[in-house]
Structure formats: structure tokens, C-alpha cells
Structure 1
């Protein structure tokens, strides 16, 4: 019998648990450990932040659904991974032994890297459902006394889609309330240009997103480094292509949401051979750590180098399809080890995204994610908004039923008219 432990109960962790339980031998144990007692569908958090969704709409308690599939669940956070002992130490003092460990924790949100950033400072967040719920309360107050908005992503961020989404969702909500004319908006991003997305652009993402911002009267500042945030004021250093500061901005705001940079969680940070300097898990082509051969990793916590060097640091995103592909490869590789064989499966590192704009949206496909690409496609339309609404329902149903159906491949690719990614 082998004990397979999964750290994290997000998109990667829950999918990993369901697929691993189905693929593992009957005598093997599968245990999920999470610092939260529930699963949250993170892509819907921007809707929560403007009260288009409630937290209960996009969360489910993890234990009953996992237990139903004969998967153990421990709702206690990890204090430290001890790979040399094959153990995970929990914050309540428990020590969990494992034969195989899958790290699927997602990131630590590095708000502390910019003074005054984040929910404990002066800006809002849509990275977690608790943050989005808190942002919704601030939004309720804001629309009573509207003023300037600053929205975007700071230096080192590796997930830009939600920043664009939230800017457009706020714009839509304000237009519905007929107060958009009272709200100047500025999009601030570390990207070298609008639509870079941490991917070097996808198709005509630059032209399409610039046009979308112009159409909605949203100004922007690229190559931006946020130096500090004070109550009602953001300090931004704008750089040129050489990385030189060309302008200092003091941006007043009555409401602001800025995505932070990501780093690895404290439980793994600084473990030599397991993580890179930012605390992300280093893996080989089979999602396996090169030093600790019984540790695998999937999702946002995986170390992926930037697509290119940019004047202000930008990271590389990990989209849902990529995470789903990582999970399936990892499951089959662990099963191979259980059978005394070596891992052979590799994830398909392609990027697929449905980005909601409130009443329309944009979809992009990058195959592979890192250029040059075989497919480089970006389109806008109301159908994307409708598709994302529908996909949310499909995904929440998947989490409740424990199906291992590959939703991104089956639903999103089918929607885009692509039969299968090679």
C-alpha cells in the first residue's frame, strides 16, 4: 500500500485527488491537505467582487465530496514539508507520512513586496474568495460615492487576465448603474505593452485589448513599477524599453484592485533542491522534482521561467487547461511508479483562456504557450462571456460529482472548434 498525499484543494489539488483515486490501486490511500475547508472556483472571484456572485455560489466544502470518493481530507495548513523524512508537518503539530507527495498549493500572494498593497493595506484583491468578498463590501460603499479607479498588476505578477477582466467587469457594472461618467479609470501593469499577458502576446491581443480599453475610456500605464500605496494614492514609476524610469506618477483613487506578485508558500520556501529562489517547485518534464524523486507538483506553484526578459519583471501564467494537463500526466506517472515503472507522461503546456469583460469577453489559444507557436489565436465576442458563465456551472458540477472528465479539453476546445491539442 502507498500513501499519496496532495497539498492543496484548489483547481489542481481537487482534480489531482479525483484522478489519482481513480487511477491508484484499491489498497492505496489518497489524502488531501488544505489550509481551507472548501474548494473555490478562483476564475469567478472577479464576479464576487462586484456582487454578481456570492461566495457560496463558487465554493463547496471539500470534505464531504472527497470522502464520498474514498479520499481523506485534512483541513489544516502545512507548516513545513520535510522531504528527507517523507513527512508533512502541519500547523497544529500533526505529522503526515507519505510515499508520494503532490504539491498543488497555488502561490503565496506577495503583497508585502509593495508597501501598502493588498487587503491589509489600501488595495483590494480577487485572488481568493475571501478577498473578493471583502472587495465587494468596499465596492458597495464606492458606488455610493464614486471616484477614480486604479486597477492592474504590479511588478513580478504572473497572472494578468484577471486584472483585465476586473477592469472591464467594473466598467460594465458602473455603466449598468449609470455612474460610469463619474469614474476615471487607469490600468497599471508591469507588462511591456497592453496584451502581453506574460506570454509575449497572443495573436492580436495587443491591438484587441488596447481597442477594448480605449472603447471603455480606460487609460493605461505599461512598464509600470508600483513603488508604494498610500490611502487613496498610488505611486508608480513608468519605465522605457531600457528599464529606465521616464516618469513618476501619483495616481489618486477611491477604489483600487492590484494583482500581486506570486511566490512559493512558507511550507516549502528555501528547501534546497525542491524550490527555486522564489519558492516555486522545480520539476522535470514529468512533473517530478529532480532531487526528491517521490515529490511531484502541479499548478501555479510550479516553477516556469518567464517567456522573455521585460523592462519591468513579469511572470508566466499557468492557465486551467495547462493545470488539467499537468494533473493527468502526474497521475499516470505516479501509477507507473506504483507498478515499478518509470514515468513517461508529459503535460501539454498550452495556454487556453476565457476572459470575461462583463457583457462580452475574449478567448485566446497559444500552442505551445512559449513562442514560436503552432497556434496563436485571440478573439473577442459576447459568446465568450456566455461561455464562461456556462463553464463555471460545468466545473462546479465536476467538483461535486468527482468526475475526471477533462473539461478544458472537452468543453473549451469544443467551443472553439478545436478537436484536440497536439
Structure 2
């Protein structure tokens, strides 16, 4: 019997378990999933939670119940450390789980501590976790009683820029609904070299589309930004010149701020020689397999990917939903081959297919492949994106609750694009 362990129970971890299950050899293999807590939360809905458009319970799934129904062993106490030379994971309660094959699907550690005053324990809010979003909503409601400036963005080293744009525009939409927008100057602060870079050197005309959206909504911006510190009501920002030197220093006032942090690998794997890079992300080959420990695979945000281009301020590469799903599918096929004494052959497509909601509109983009040069490099905006994102949330949560193993992300998004094109025609 082979013990297959999935470390992580977020987007990539739950999909990984679901896709592996039907590929097991009957009565010979077992899947174990290790998560932190018993609840799955749909992270793309966190911006809606942060302004009260969703409640926490609206976007959660009881994983204990789903995993039990599917016959998957589930541990909710989290992992303390992976010991790859021993094929063992130590859990937070001191117990251990052994494996024959391990898939690391942990997502990232949020590096708020790298900038003084950053994060929900400091002076800025976060939408990276549902509990952060709940706290951000409480802070927003307090802010609306005495409105002032807002600062939203992503700091140096960030690799996920879409949610920052989403939240800035969603805030704008909500403030207009409340009749408060005229009392709230807004500034977008980002490490990107230009608006719409997204860690991808742009996709289609994301630069033009997002700059136009910023101007229409009267949101100022600072690019090539390095946040040096955050104090109550004030963010210190160094605007970096093309050559790397300081071009200008800003002290940006705020009454409310949400800044996305840099990511790094989680503590359970960080610093393991041969397994991770210096930031703690898992090193993989084209088969999603670690070269030093070939019985370890990795999927999702915790995977090491080199930046698309060198930028004056460091930016990472995002791992979008379809890209993650394609990693999961390839890994499931490759582990199934190994279980049957065959060589792994599947490779993920690493395409980016994304819907970014702006509350009353949005931007969609397709980058195939994600890393340029591309066969498809397309973007567009419209109210249909907001409607598609709402539909996607319902569709995906139903998939998680049912334990559906069928890959669907690209098909769903492209169907939405097809519907749009038919309507436009």
C-alpha cells in the first residue's frame, strides 16, 4: 500500500486530493490531507467579505465532512516540519504522518514582518485570509464614520497583484453606494513598474485598461514603489528609479489601508536544502517534481517560479486558478503513473485565465502561456466580468462541497468569454 499525503487544504490541496482519489489502485493506496483547521474558504471572495458583500460562512466548506464522505483521511492540526530524508511530516501536536509520495500544496507564508508596521497586526489591513478580511471589514465600517484618505496596493516582493486592483475598485464602488466617495482621496501603491504589469509584464492591454479605470475613478498611483515602513495614518514609500536608486520619497497619509505582502514558503518547508529556494518555495521540474527528493511534488502558490522580467523593485509571478488546476492535473497523472511503475510524463500548461472583479465591472485576461512569449495575449473589460465572477464563486463552492474531481476552471471562464462574445455580436 502506498501512502499519499497532500500537505495543504486550500485551493490547490483540496483539488489535489479530489483528482488523486480516482487514480488510486483499488484497496492498495490511501490519501491523507493535512490542513490548518477544518474549514475551507474561497479566497477570491475575500474582497467581498472585507466590505460586507459576503459573510464568512457564505464562502466556507466543512472539509471534515467532505473528506470523510470521500474516504480521505484528514488532519486539521497543521504541519510543523517536513523531514524529506525520513519521508515524514511532524504535525503541530507532535504526532507524525509518514508518506511514500508527498504533494506540497500549502500556499504561502505572508511576510508582513518584512516591513515595519505592515499587516493586520500592524497598521494595514489584509484580504489574504478570510479572518483578515473579517477584520478589514470591521476597520472599514469604523473608517466610514470618519472618512479620509485610502491607500491600497502591493509591496515589494508581492506576487499577487490582481486582488489589490480588485479591492481598490470594489472600495470605490462601495463608497459611491454610500455617498462617501467625494470625501475619500485614494492612492494605489505598487511595486509594479507600471499599472497593469501584474507580475506578468502585462497581458494584452492591461496597462491601458487599468490606467483608464484608475483615471475614471480618480485613483492616483505610485509605481516602482518600495514601502519602507507604516505608522499610524502614514505610509513611507520610496519611489525607485529605473537604475535602482531612489527617485522620490513619499509620505502617503491614510485613514484606511490594505496592502498585499510579499510571499515566502511556509515554515514547515523553508530552509530545507534541495527542496526549496532561498524564499522557501518548492523547487520543481516540468513534471511538478522536486529534483532532490523525487517522491515530493508541489502545486500552487508555494511553487518556485522565476520572475518574468527584471524590474526596478522586485515583483513575483502570480499563480492563477487555472494555472494551479493544470499543475494539479499533471501531478495526479504523474503520481498515478509512478504507482503503476511507469515514468511520469504529464506537464502542466501554466496558462493564466483570470476574472478580476471591480464591484460594478471588471477585467478578464488570458495569457497562454503565462510566461511570454505567448500564443494568446488578450484582455477586455465590462460588467459581464463581475457577473461571471459571482457565477464562478457559486460554481466553485458547489464543486468543493461535492468533492468533484473534474477539472473545470478554464472551461468555465472560456464559456463566460464565449457568452460575452455572442452577446456582443
Same structural fold, with TM-score higher than 0.5 when normalized by the shorter chain: yes
Which secondary structure does the structure 2 equivalent of 1:31 belong to? strand
* 2:300 aligned with 1:299: yes
Structure 1: 5+ residue stretches without partners: none
Deviates more, 1:402-411 or 1:64-73: 402-411
Residue matched to 2:422: none
Superposition deviation, residue 407 in structure 1: 2.0
CA distance, structure 1, for counterparts of residue 206 and residue 254 of structure 2 = 27
If the length of structure 2 is used for normalisation, what is the TM-score?
A: 0.98
Q: How big is the shift at 1:26?
A: 2.1
User: What is the CA-CA distance between 1:405 and the residue it aligns to?
Assistant: 2.1
Deviation of 1:409 after TM superposition, in Å, equals 2.2
Within-5 A mapping of 1:275-354? 275-354=276-355
Distance 1:24 1:136 in 2: 43
Count of matched residue positions in the alignment of Structure 1 and Structure 2? 418
Report the counterpart of residue 70 of structure 2 in structure 1. 69
- Which residue does the alignment assign to 1:243? 244
What CA RMSD, in Å, does the superposition of the two structures yield over aligned residues? 0.8
Query: Counterparts of 1:60 and 1:50 in 2: how far apart (Å)?
Result: 21
Whether contact under 8 Å (1:395, 1:407) holds in the other structure is no
Asked if structure 1 preserves the Cα contact closer than 8 Å seen for 2:49 and 2:130, the reply is yes
2-structure distance, mates of 1:50, 1:310: 33
State the SS of the aligned residue for 1:120: coil
When structure 1 is superposed on structure 2, of 257-266 and 368-377 the one drifting more is 368-377
Asked if structure 2 preserves the Cα contact closer than 8 Å seen for 1:116 and 1:228, the reply is yes
Partners of 1:152 and 1:127 in 2: CA distance? 13
Correspondence for 2:184: 183
Q: Compute the TM-score of the two structures, normalised by the length of structure 1.
A: 0.98
How far the C-alpha of 1:103 sits from its partner, in A, is 0.4
Equivalent-residue separation in structure 1 for 2:58 and 2:412 (angstroms): 21
Which runs of no fewer than 5 residues in structure 2 stay unpaired? 420-425
| Cα deviations by residue, 1:279-325 (Å, 9 ceiling, x for unpaired) | 00000000000010100000000000000000000000000000000
Matching of residue 393 in structure 1 with residue 394 in structure 2: yes
Deviation at 1:44, TM superposition (A): 0.5
**Which residue number corresponds to residue 55 of structure 1?**
56
CA deviation vs aligned residue, 1:75-103 (integer Å, no higher than 9, x gap): 01111000000000011001101111000
**Separation (CA, whole Å) in 2 of partners of 1:397 and 1:169:** 25
Residue number in structure 2 paired with 1:142: 143
Partner Cα distance (1:165, 1:2) in 2: 43
1:3 has 2:20 as partner? no
Paired position in structure 2 for 1:221: 222
Report the secondary structure of 2:389's partner residue.
helix
Partner of 2:159: 158
SS at match of 2:418: coil
